[in-house]
Amino acid sequence: MKRAAYYFCLSVLTLLLAACHPKNYLSQTKPDVPTNPTPPAHQHTNRLARAKSPYLLQHAHNPVDWFAWGEEAFAKARAENKPIFLSIGYSTCHWCHVMERESFESEATAKFLNEHFVSIKVDREERPDVDKIYMTFVQSTTGSGGWPLNVFLTPDRKPFFGGTYFPPDNRYGRGSFVSVLQQVTDVWRERHGEVAASADEIHTRLELATSSATASNLLLTAETVRRAGAMFKEAYDAQNGGFGGAPKFPQPSQPAFLLRYAKRFHDDAAAKMVLHTCDAMAAGGIHDQLGGGFARYSVDAHWLVPHFEKMLYDNAQLTQLYLDAFLVSPDASGRHAEVVRDILGYVLRDMTHPDGGFYSAEDADSEGHEGKFYCWTHDELSKLLTVEEFNVVVGYFGVTKQGNFVDHSHPTPLSGQNVLSIAHAKVSPPDQPLLESAKTKMSGVRAKRIRPHLDDKILASWNGLMLGAFARASAVLGDETYRAAAEKNLAFLRAKLWDEKSKTLFHRWRDGERDNVQLLEGYAFLLDGVIQLYEATLEPKHLDFAIALAEAMIAKFYDAANGGFWQSASDAKDLIIRVKDDYDGAEPSGNSVATLALFKLAAITDRKDFREPAEATLRFFATRLEKIPHAVPYMLQTFDFTIEEPRRVVIAGDAHDPRARELLRAAHSVYQPNKVVLGNRGAVEEFARELPAKDGPLVYLCTGKACQPPTSDAAKLKALLR
């Protein structure tokens, strides 16, 4: 891809890149497209009004003649020989809102787009497969990426130029959006042949690289895990927690891997790094101190000022990380368990459909200001609270008159805004009731504010992550509320997104309709969640569904010739290429999650047809695991699972027996990541089915065909697992 980008830049991009750098070109050239003020709301309605995506609906009243991704747009581009302007984002994306206000609501900009381009809007959360292709192109040609992602394509959807946010005038070292549009139009008209040839060159090289990739002969060993752990430790921020500098993303799969590394190599220092990171995040402004849950990232190194949007996938993964921290921590205070309860309480209160599905995200903005819903002024709190409450709150949350946050993206930023963080964690016993009463008053006032936009679409992938989080929390913390939420969520997903007859899992449900998209991450994340629900309940019906999902996932996405899983199904005709997602970032890749889920399912069922694709996938990504482990921390967890045969905790007897429930909780109460928990009924492996109960449930701790003497003592089981 890099070579293709090099040839492309030589042949076509000189003028286009100049449009992004006004010092080089635009200072000498005035664009032909003026900018107009924002038109009145709902002056226009375009075809996106028919969409279900909240992001597309946000653009339904732009004067831009938007199309959704599909053949209608492609056919128009071909018929009129116009380039496609593809704009990708998501409904809680702050800079997507900014670009909409500045450019897509401009009558003049819209007029130019409508005359010279076929404009397409894509919700990256509904179509991560589309986003992956064009994000890869932009990152390869510009060195960076992000959202909004704006890419120019030939009518056959091959990219030839792109970037992220374009301002309405020359600023941030970038040329204006209208100047970019003018330059693309000129190049398309005057150098059309070169554009088409270069786009073909890029496509050919990318297609060749993808189709020719094969499994590596590299032999992975425990030393691979050791080296990766040492690399992650080097990036540790000893002062603030976390790994690396600002901006700081939790990226939970990295600290989660480091805990596995710490256990394998008895590295207490690594475990302390993770626990410090968890404590620092929980105390920071990235953690909603009043309403629960975590924002997507902090803009600073101190976890203080968040980018306020809250994503379901972050909170699901952080639940798992804090459960790990709770089990690993020598501190008996249970502070990490309280963070788990805080996250799940937020999800149940604010992010759950009445029928059990989990919503996708909450916006950073409200009333046009980022963070307005969450922030407080010194004066506001002094009027709301008693003097005694106010003094405690100011010290505890670090509230100042000048504030600690300014929304620089708004033309008239609010002054004196404070993001709440725990500045002084120790509160004296007499002051604790004052703090609680103050928080109650503050929560009541905040509840009356205008909330940020809720993206209420329900995605199979992210719901799978949160399903697993609720299921495991129910087992670790012994809370039946969480088990009930997980069961209800799975029932919702099976009713709305799973087609039993064709064994098909669709990706998105919203407002009474599901889409027609199938994605690896939907199958993989839900498979992982269902396996965790089975391990938390030992209900055979959940194991049966996990098996059905795994069989469908392998049939639809597995590359039997080379190993690895394609991101999209073979019948996805609207994509120019199929890719294999190989990056564990804010979300883990479908390949990483699918592989670990299949290894776990194989250990539970002893089915080779699950184990063999997982093994082949690890071989396919072996070089990546060895050479650039920071890109695949979740897959490193998968490999760690395979270094020796996993331990099997087999609970024989009636899983509904209270004594079995006690044993089940004990099995989940010890940090032992390379184990599976199963019953002796249903589609489990034959050896487990033969293990008997006696005068009530018994638990067997097994490796291969050998087991420890069975016990009905939960404390003894914990000791054996340790």
Positive or negative torsion for Cα 168, 171, 172, 174:
positive
φ, ψ (nearest 5 deg) of residue 152: -105, 130
**How many Å apart are CA 556 and CA 568, to the nearest integer?**
8
Length of the chain (residues): 722
**How many Å apart are CA 627 and CA 233, to the nearest integer?**
16
Shared domain check, 307 and 168? no
pLDDT at 40 over 60: no
Tell me if 205 is assigned to some domain. Answer: yes
Helices (H), 332-384: 335-350, 378-384
- Looking at residue 20, what is its pLDDT? 45
**How many Å apart are CA 502 and CA 658, to the nearest integer?**
38
- Looking at residue 11, what is its pLDDT? 44
Shared domain check, 243 and 359? yes
Tell the residue number behind the tokens 């664009």, with chain if given.
31
Q: In sequence order, what are the beta bridge partners of 514?
A: 509
Q: Are 119 and 87 in contact (CB under 8 A)?
A: yes
Q: What is the mean pLDDT of residues 48-69?
A: 96
pLDDT at 487 over 60: yes
pLDDT at 446 over 60: yes
- Looking at residue 15, what is its pLDDT? 44
Going by C-alpha positions, the residue among 442, 418, 447 that lies closest to residue 350 is 447
- Looking at residue 9, what is its pLDDT? 43
Q: What is the mean pLDDT of residues 472-491?
A: 97
pLDDT at 608 over 90: yes
Segment 226-254, tens digit of pLDDT: 999 999 999 999 999 999 999 999 999 99
Shared domain check, 349 and 446? yes
According to DSSP, the β-strands at 508-510 and 458-459 are antiparallel
Q: In sequence order, what are the beta bridge partners of 152?
A: 85, 161
Shared domain check, 281 and 158? no
- Percentage of the chain surpassing pLDDT 90? 81
Give me the torsion for CA of 715, 278, 587, 547, rounded to 10°: 10
Which of 425, 455, 485 is at the close of a domain?
Answer: 455
Angle, alpha carbons 427-433-434 (nearest 5°): 80
- Looking at residue 271, what is its pLDDT? 97
- Quote the DSSP letter at residue 656: T
pLDDT band at 43 (very low <50, low <70, confident <90, very high): confident
**How many Å apart are CA 240 and CA 298, to the nearest integer?**
12
What are the distances in angstroms from CA 221 to CA 227, 251, 597, 627, 630? 10, 25, 20, 13, 17
pLDDT band at 1 (very low <50, low <70, confident <90, very high): very low
> What does the DSSP assignment read for 231-248?
HHHHTB-TTT-SBSSSSB
Shared domain check, 179 and 318? no
Q: What is the mean pLDDT of residues 30-42?
A: 41
Shared domain check, 439 and 371? yes
Q: Are 377 and 385 in contact (CB under 8 A)?
A: no
Shared domain check, 78 and 180? yes
Shared domain check, 425 and 282? yes
Tell the residue number behind the tokens 């099997």, with chain if given.
648
Angle between helices 253-265 and 312-328 (to 10 degrees): 20
- Percentage of the chain surpassing pLDDT 70? 92
Which two tokens mark 2?
A: 């890099």
**How many Å apart are CA 274 and CA 325, to the nearest integer?**
8
End-to-end CA distance of the chain: 48
Return the higher-pLDDT residue of 204 and 698: 698
Q: What is the mean pLDDT of residues 295-307?
A: 94
For the chain, the domain total comes to: 3
- Looking at residue 330, what is its pLDDT? 82
Shared domain check, 257 and 170? no
Tell me if 537 is assigned to some domain. Answer: no
Going by C-alpha positions, the residue among 706, 708, 709, 646 that lies closest to residue 678 is 646
Segment 411-434, tens digit of pLDDT: 788 999 999 999 987 888 989 999
What are the distances in angstroms from CA 721 to CA 256, 651, 700? 19, 14, 11
Q: What is the mean pLDDT of residues 2-25?
A: 42
**How many Å apart are CA 297 and CA 492, to the nearest integer?**
30
- Looking at residue 216, what is its pLDDT? 74
Q: Are 77 and 196 in contact (CB under 8 A)?
A: no
Tell me if 422 is assigned to some domain. Answer: yes
Tell me if 34 is assigned to some domain. Answer: yes
pLDDT band at 702 (very low <50, low <70, confident <90, very high): very high
Which two tokens mark 504?
A: 């098909």
Segment 520-548, tens digit of pLDDT: 999 999 999 999 999 999 999 999 999 99
> What does the DSSP assignment read for 40-65?
PTTS---GGGG---HHHHHTTTSSS-
Angle, alpha carbons 51-52-57 (nearest 5°): 65
Single-letter amino acid, residue 430: P
Shared domain check, 263 and 122? no
Which of 437, 455, 473 is at the close of a domain?
Answer: 455
Helices (H), 71-191: 71-80, 94-99, 107-116, 128-142, 177-190
Shared domain check, 320 and 246? yes
Q: 555-564 burial, b if ≥16 CB within 10 A, otherwise e?
A: ebbbbeebbb
Segment 328-357, tens digit of pLDDT: 998 767 999 999 999 999 999 999 999 999
Tell me if 567 is assigned to some domain. Answer: no
Cis preceding linkage at 148, omega within 30: yes
- Looking at residue 331, what is its pLDDT? 77
- Looking at residue 172, what is its pLDDT? 64
Angle, alpha carbons 207-632-127 (nearest 5°): 55
Q: What is the mean pLDDT of residues 2-30?
A: 40
- Looking at residue 439, what is its pLDDT? 97
Shared domain check, 317 and 282? yes
CATH number, domain with residue 104: 3.40.30.10
Helices (H), 213-286: 222-234, 253-265, 268-283
pLDDT band at 173 (very low <50, low <70, confident <90, very high): low
Going by C-alpha positions, the residue among 443, 548, 468, 453 that lies closest to residue 505 is 548
Q: What is the mean pLDDT of residues 251-270?
A: 97
- Looking at residue 42, what is its pLDDT? 60
Tell me if 632 is assigned to some domain. Answer: no
Segment 661-680, tens digit of pLDDT: 999 999 999 999 999 999 99
SS3 letters for 473-490? HHHHHCCHHHHHHHHHHH
**How many Å apart are CA 366 and CA 370, to the nearest integer?**
6
φ, ψ (nearest 5 deg) of residue 391: -65, -40
- Looking at residue 619, what is its pLDDT? 95
Q: What is the mean pLDDT of residues 303-325?
A: 96
Average per-residue pLDDT in the chain? 91
Q: Are 68 and 516 in contact (CB under 8 A)?
A: no
Segment 195-212, tens digit of pLDDT: 889 889 888 877 776 665
- Looking at residue 375, what is its pLDDT? 96
Tell me if 31 is assigned to some domain. Answer: yes
Coarse DSSP helix, strand, coil percentages of the chain, rounded to the nearest 5 percent: 50, 10, 35
Which of 403, 427, 455 is at the close of a domain?
Answer: 455
Q: Are 527 and 553 in contact (CB under 8 A)?
A: yes
Which two tokens mark 486?
A: 């997980």
Tell me if 498 is assigned to some domain. Answer: no
Q: Which domain holds residue 420?
A: 235-455
Q: What is the mean pLDDT of residues 50-59?
A: 96
Q: Are 699 and 707 in contact (CB under 8 A)?
A: no
- Quote the DSSP letter at residue 569: -
Task: Name the least confident of 202-206, 282-286, 566-570.
Answer: 202-206
Strand order in the sheet with 513-514: 458-459, 508-510, 513-514
**How many Å apart are CA 618 and CA 215, to the nearest integer?**
8
pTM over 0.75, yes/no: yes
